[in-house]
């Protein structure tokens, strides 16, 4: 009987290690979940070059004279520029040159119409990570040929566009530009040509 009493007492002490002076196990706190990594924001700053291809439309008003819509044509060009970035605000400048095909003056066939555009642009826009939405204002030059006459025109341009960063260096975009240019004919004359030239171009760029 005494042996049983001692056995029960030893078993009770073994079942209560804290009471018996044994080590007390404390569960570790649950480790906090790792915060999701920040999404990398594309850096639009720096120099870039590119090529473009699109459609061209326009109209000519002679003073005094007639009003005519130019035949629709195509424009292929190249551009280069530099951008600065402050947070989501992106701004900079660009120079672009394009050759225009088939944008003829009605009734005069090949050799008439507009054959080129040169654009100096100031750009400003908003960066939404890998997309850049921007507006354009600038200075443009172009040449108009009609019935042996030549008009070396210049004026202002306005437009808007969007670029998407396909990789860290390659961009793909779409730009609309409207130019309001005018001039008297080269060599003298009274028929001033007031011309609107609109282009919508797909652009691919390479940044540095």
- In percent, the amount of the chain with pLDDT more than 70 equals 80
- Whether the CB-CB separation of 153 and 160 falls below 8 Å is answered with no
| Residue-level pLDDT at 39 | 47
- Whether the CB-CB separation of 10 and 4 falls below 8 Å is answered with no
Residue 24 burial (C-beta neighbours within 10 Å; 0-12, 13-18, 19+) = exposed
Q: What is the mean pLDDT of the chain?
A: 85
Cis peptide before 68 (omega within 30 of 0): no
Q: Where does the pLDDT of residue 26 fall: very low under 50, low under 70, confident under 90, or very high at 90 and above?
A: low
Q: Judge whether residue 111 has pLDDT over 60.
A: yes
The pTM of this model reads: 0.78
As a whole number of angstroms, the distance between CA 100 and CA 199 comes to 10
| Residue-level pLDDT at 34 | 53
Work out the average pLDDT over 28-55. Answer: 75
| Residue-level pLDDT at 6 | 41
| Residue-level pLDDT at 37 | 45
Residue 37 to residues 34, 40, 166: CA-CA distances in angstroms? 9, 9, 21
Q: Which residues contact 84 (CB under 8 A, 6 or more apart)?
A: 45, 90, 91, 92
The full set of domain ranges for the chain reads 46-207
Work out the average pLDDT over 16-28. Answer: 48
Q: What angle do CA 125, 47, 197 make, to 5 degrees?
A: 60
Q: Where does the pLDDT of residue 12 fall: very low under 50, low under 70, confident under 90, or very high at 90 and above?
A: very low
- Whether the CB-CB separation of 195 and 182 falls below 8 Å is answered with yes
8-state DSSP, 142: E
Backbone phi, psi, residue 181, to 5°: -120, 155
First to last CA, the chain: 94
8-state DSSP, 104: P
Q: Which CATH class is domain 46-207?
A: mainly beta
């Amino acid at each position: 009987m005494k042996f049983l009493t001692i056995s029960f007492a030893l078993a009770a002490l073994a079942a209560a290690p804290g009471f018996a002076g044994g080590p007390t196990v404390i569960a570790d706190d649950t480790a906090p979940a790792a915060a999701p990594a920040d999404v990398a924001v594309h850096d639009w700053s720096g120099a870039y070059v590119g090529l473009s291809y699109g459609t061209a439309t326009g109209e000519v008003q002679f003073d005094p004279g007639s009003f005519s819509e130019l035949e629709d044509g195509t424009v292929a060009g190249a551009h280069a520029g530099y951008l600065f970035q402050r947070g989501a605000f992106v701004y900079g400048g660009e120079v672009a040159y394009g050759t225009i095909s088939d944008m003829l003056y009605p009734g005069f066939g090949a050799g008439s119409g507009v054959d080129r555009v040169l654009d100096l642009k100031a750009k400003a826009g908003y960066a939404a990570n890998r997309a850049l939405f921007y507006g354009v204002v600038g200075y443009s030059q172009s040449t108009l040929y009609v019935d042996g006459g030549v008009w070396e025109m210049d004026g202002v341009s306005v437009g808007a566009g969007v670029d998407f960063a396909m990789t860290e260096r390659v961009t793909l975009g779409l730009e609309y530009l409207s130019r309001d240019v005018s001039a008297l004919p080269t060599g003298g004359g009274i028929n001033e040509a007031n011309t609107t030239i609109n282009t919508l171009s797909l652009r691919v760029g390479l940044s540095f």
